[in-house]
A and B are shown apart, each in its own frame.
Chain A
Amino acid sequence: MAILGAINPMLTVGLDGDNAWRLDDYVKRGGYAALKKILAEKMSPAQVIDEVKKSSLRGRGGAGFPTGLKWSFMPKDFKDGKYVVCNTDEGEPGTFKDRDILRYNPHSVIEGMTIAAYAVGAARGYNYIHGEIWDIYQRFEAALDEACAAGLLGKNILGSGFDFELFAHHGYGAYICGEESALLESIEGKKGQPRFKPPFPASYGLYGKPTTINNTETFSAVPFIFNLGAEAYLEAGKANNGGTKLFSVSGHVNKPGNFEVPLGTPFATLLEMAGGMRGGRKLKACIPGGSSAPVLPAGVIMDCTLDYDCISKAGSMLGSGAVIVMDETTCMVKALERLSFFYFEESCGQCTPCREGTSWMYKIVHRIENGQGRPEDLDLLGSVTTNIMGRTICALGDAASMPVQSFIKHFRDEFSYHIEYKKCLVPPEVQRAGSGFFKATV
């Protein structure tokens, strides 16, 4: 099991055993009580949205947008079919929490989506699941079957007259489909290329109909707002940062995995929960919110608490909660080279600044890493990033630029050393030992 620890958990509470994902187990844990309550008390959609607003739940997919506010953008009088879509296209390097949510607690997502559908007046929904996790897609479909058989999905849910049909859509390998409008294009059976915004999905979404799209973890949190009450949910986290959050910890730690902690938990606590630094080595840097978030040096991240506001004050982003930990064996140039390759590979190619810029950034970082860097390269990289940022259709252009800017800002000396001496500051054998792959040689 890859959920390795928690402090006051909600989403992952009581998830033990192979059957945790099943409907019976979920109901025993208090599952579907929120949906039942909403339907039995005939809460109005506006009341439901209000509760979510009061809880300060913020989107867990990356941008941290307030969920209740997003739901309130859906046109109330639109009668020609609206949609609710869940984003499980988890491909942001470092992020692996949604996979575990669907693996161990898929019904919490189904319940959350159903409540959302009720609140925004949607009759149909899709969960878009990342291509590489076929077994999870199958499990989600099995959970859908259970929910339908129990009258919790489909026509006339629990005799309330409310209909909601939900299906799974399987991706096939394209990071860009995590961007919400690319994801919608992809469900429509097209290349996953982001759309111009506005119009936003709430007015022009799937098949051109109003659509609410949220991350898996966001939907999964919704039932808890109604089970606990919005105030209690908010208090479980920190002002303006309601609830708990799953953090995926990867890299140079002893126990990589998922941890659910209240928003506002100190970074140091999370690091300790993840077993501390591998081999007792020293922390060098951390990317706190998935590969698109700016990197922070050890000294800065060690003073942070894990919430949207603190991490953004420190100059980065909480993003998807993917905490990538790097120790002193890491060559920062090589690390950036790999990330730049990723964005170059995954740019959808629609916008010239992103298509050409990601290619340039990779080429330049690659030549620095390989001993062919030029003294002017660091400034050149800086100018490429400023020519991309804010000039593209979607945020991938910015996502590709922020690592470049932040790596150079905080580790400029290491880049300069590479350019001057044509080799890594961190000796290759030290780097090799860091990964722990060739245990025998460490």
Chain B
Amino acid sequence: MLTTESLKRIDREIAKYPADQKQSAVMAALAIAQEEQGWLTTEAIEFVANYLGMAPMAAYEVASFYNMYDLKPVGKYKLTVCTNLPCMLSGGVDAGEYLKQKLGVGFNETTADGKITLKEGECMGACGDAPVMLVNNRRMCSCMLPEQIDKLLAELE
């Protein structure tokens, strides 16, 4: 189900917790599975649960509780824009609108070519750098005025 590379990363996470608390690694394991497969299928969640010796339902609860897990397919790139108040004051909402126009999609939608999914996010702890956005949960982009957004979109192939 997952590559040996991913399993190795999961094992490293398991080792951080007491031997009888493997379940503590579930957040990391789900994130690793999502990183490898693009989104979390029911099979992937069950696999992670079995790997950690926990009930599949418990792993599913975790996957559906935290915002950064995707339980449905997303584009090759997921762009999450923070529109919370501190960012809004410095263009977070405008950046969202600008992206909607450029990509021709609304929030929680994917471009027709399957390349980009646009999402609205909550505070990322980076409000001083507003507008901020996150690419595929991992890469944070700061101070995203129109010119910078154009550059980012050109870069995402």
- The answer to whether B95 touches A437 (Cβ under 8 A) is yes
CB B155 to nearest CB in A, in angstroms, measures 18
Q: Indicate if B54 sits at the interface (CB-CB under 8 A).
A: yes
Which of A92, A93, A135 is close to B140, meaning CB atoms less than 8 Å apart? A135
Nearest residue, chain A, Cβ from B132? A132
Known A167-B16, A190-B61, A346-B122; contact A435-B127, beta-carbon cutoff 8 A: no
CB A217 to nearest CB in B, in angstroms, measures 13
* Chain B residues close to A by CB (< 8 Å): 16-18, 21, 23-28, 30-31, 52, 54, 58, 61-62, 65-69, 83-95, 98, 121-131, 134, 137-140, 145-146
Which of B52, B90, B140 is close to A251, meaning CB atoms less than 8 Å apart? B90
Known A187-B24, A189-B24; contact A250-B128, beta-carbon cutoff 8 A: yes
**A405: B residues at CB distance < 8 A:** none
Q: Indicate if A68 sits at the interface (CB-CB under 8 A).
A: no
Which of B26, B28, B89, B121 is close to A324, meaning CB atoms less than 8 Å apart? B89
**B146: A residues at CB distance < 8 A:** 437-438
Q: Which of B127, B131, B139 has the most CB of A within 10 A?
A: B127
- The answer to whether B127 touches A93 (Cβ under 8 A) is yes
**A256: B residues at CB distance < 8 A:** 90, 127-130
- The answer to whether A339 touches B85 (Cβ under 8 A) is yes
Which of B21, B26, B131, B139 is close to A207, meaning CB atoms less than 8 Å apart? B21
Chain A 321-363 residues near chain B, CB threshold 8 A: 322, 324-326, 330, 335, 338-339, 342, 345-346
**A251: B residues at CB distance < 8 A:** 86, 89-90
Q: Indicate if A96 sits at the interface (CB-CB under 8 A).
A: yes
Chain A 123-164 residues near chain B, CB threshold 8 A: 124, 126, 130-135
**A325: B residues at CB distance < 8 A:** 89
- The answer to whether B94 touches A90 (Cβ under 8 A) is no
- The answer to whether B66 touches A172 (Cβ under 8 A) is yes
Give chain A's interface secondary structure class: mixed
* Chain A residues close to B by CB (< 8 Å): 2, 90-96, 98-99, 124, 126, 130-135, 167-175, 186-192, 207, 248-252, 256-258, 291, 322, 324-326, 330, 335, 338-339, 342, 345-346, 432, 434-439
- The answer to whether B67 touches A173 (Cβ under 8 A) is yes
For the complex, give the distance between the alpha carbons of A190 and B137 in Å.
20
Nearest residue, chain A, Cβ from B28? A170
For the complex, give the distance between the alpha carbons of A258 and B89 in Å.
17
Extra 8 A-B pairs, beta carbons < 8 Å, given A191-B65, A435-B94:
A94-B86, A134-B137, A170-B31, A173-B68, A256-B127, A256-B129, A256-B130, A439-B145
Which of B54, B89, B94, B123 is close to A189, meaning CB atoms less than 8 Å apart? B54
- The answer to whether B62 touches A191 (Cβ under 8 A) is yes
Which of B54, B61, B85 is close to A338, meaning CB atoms less than 8 Å apart? B85
Nearest residue, chain B, Cβ from A435? B91
- The answer to whether A132 touches B85 (Cβ under 8 A) is no
Nearest residue, chain B, Cβ from A287? B85
